[in-house]
Amino acid sequence: MRILIAGAGATGGAFGTRLVEAGRDVTFLVRPERAEALRASGLRFIGPDEDRTNPVAVTTAEELAANPIPEDLVLIAVKAGGLDQVIDDIRPAIGPDTLIIPFLNGMAHIDRLDREFPGQVLGGLVKIIGTMRGYDVVQMTDMATMTIGRLGGGEVPSGIVEALDVPGFRLQVIDAIDDALWEKWVFIAAAGVVTCLFRAPVGAIMAAGGEPHVVAIVDELEAVAMGAGHPISARSRAVTLSMLTAEGSSFTSSLYRDVTAGLPNETEHILGSLAATAAGLGVATPLLDLTLVQLRAGEIDRAG
């Protein structure tokens, strides 16, 4: 099975490394400068107790357009800001039987991709803590899971499951992928609202008496999921509250880290899209809306 991975960052690089090492036919779609580096030096992967470099196949959007070959599976592992470009870039690789699995946060990308490639999009999410050090892919903990499923229910083709079931991460194939995507969206959004609204790590927020406000944020966002027909499970709620109310915790959301560093961020994709969904459902989200005003005002101030 031919697999194209759009992106060789922390997510695409980590999961792609495992697929390459399992002998899968993998090509990374990357920008020209990244392609040059990968061709020259390979893809370096650093794990908790690992450090190795693998030669990998790479292509660029220009090369793909000049030599279009349909792939069997396309994995999209970029941040939301790169989605529009990726859609254009992967188009020459999409044949009538190609399946696409995006690993982005939120839900808006699902609708967008399904409009572009009707019936060819599966649901997918990953859990991994990783980062980039220059061009090196760093996995910071042993946690690495990939969850996939047919949107709306139904079986995932056995060839896809076989191709993705490799050592190094745990593959889960579930029927209720829509619910799982909503649960991750609510968690990511709650973490973003909590740490961006209070501008601090979880431990400091708890020390300042923030616990009841954190619970209120979680309740508010879970109400949106309920209104959309995807109620959050008791187990997922417990995990979210445990992480966002842990005393002494240094946890911050990736959104908070990007915002405070002045980097491009997923404010609109994660929080703006959720607020728009809530408004369409008639669900009040005052704490989410307040956070969005703060974040948008900061962006306007920086740009001004």
- Confidence at residue 48, expressed as pLDDT on a 0 to 100 scale: 92
Same domain, 291 and 193: yes
Same domain, 99 and 147: yes
CATH code for the domain of 86: 3.40.50.720
pTM: 0.89
Domains in the chain, number:
2
Which residue has 């973003």 as its token pair? Answer: 192
Same domain, 228 and 94: no
CATH code for the domain of 285: 1.10.1040.10
- Confidence at residue 189, expressed as pLDDT on a 0 to 100 scale: 97
- Confidence at residue 17, expressed as pLDDT on a 0 to 100 scale: 98
DSSP H or E stretch at residue 236: helix 234-244
Using the Cα atoms of residue 89, residue 92, residue 94 and residue 96 in order, give the sign of their dihedral: positive
Same domain, 167 and 189: no
Same domain, 6 and 141: yes
DSSP 3-state assignment of 296? Answer: helix
- Confidence at residue 105, expressed as pLDDT on a 0 to 100 scale: 86
Same domain, 141 and 169: yes
DSSP 3-state assignment of 135? Answer: coil
For the chain, what's the residue count? 304
Last residue of a domain, one of 175, 199, 234: 175
DSSP H or E stretch at residue 46: strand 43-47
Last residue of a domain, one of 154, 175, 196: 175
Same domain, 169 and 188: no
Same domain, 136 and 15: yes
Same domain, 255 and 147: no
| pLDDT, one tens digit for every residue, the chain (304 residues) | 999 999 999 999 999 999 999 999 999 999 999 999 999 999 999 999 999 999 999 999 999 999 999 999 999 999 888 999 999 999 999 999 999 999 998 888 998 999 999 999 999 999 998 889 999 999 989 999 999 999 988 999 999 999 999 999 999 999 999 999 999 999 999 999 999 999 999 999 999 999 999 999 999 999 999 999 999 999 999 999 999 999 999 999 989 999 999 988 999 999 999 999 999 999 999 999 999 999 999 999 988 8
Same domain, 9 and 31: yes
**Residue 68: left (phi > 0), alpha (psi -120 to 50), or beta?**
beta
**Residue 21's domain spans which residues?**
2-175
Same domain, 225 and 158: no
- Confidence at residue 166, expressed as pLDDT on a 0 to 100 scale: 98
DSSP 3-state assignment of 19? Answer: helix
**What tokens appear for 147 in the block?**
């969850």
Same domain, 164 and 189: no
Last residue of a domain, one of 150, 175, 200: 175
- Confidence at residue 8, expressed as pLDDT on a 0 to 100 scale: 95
C-alpha radius of gyration, the chain, whole number? 19
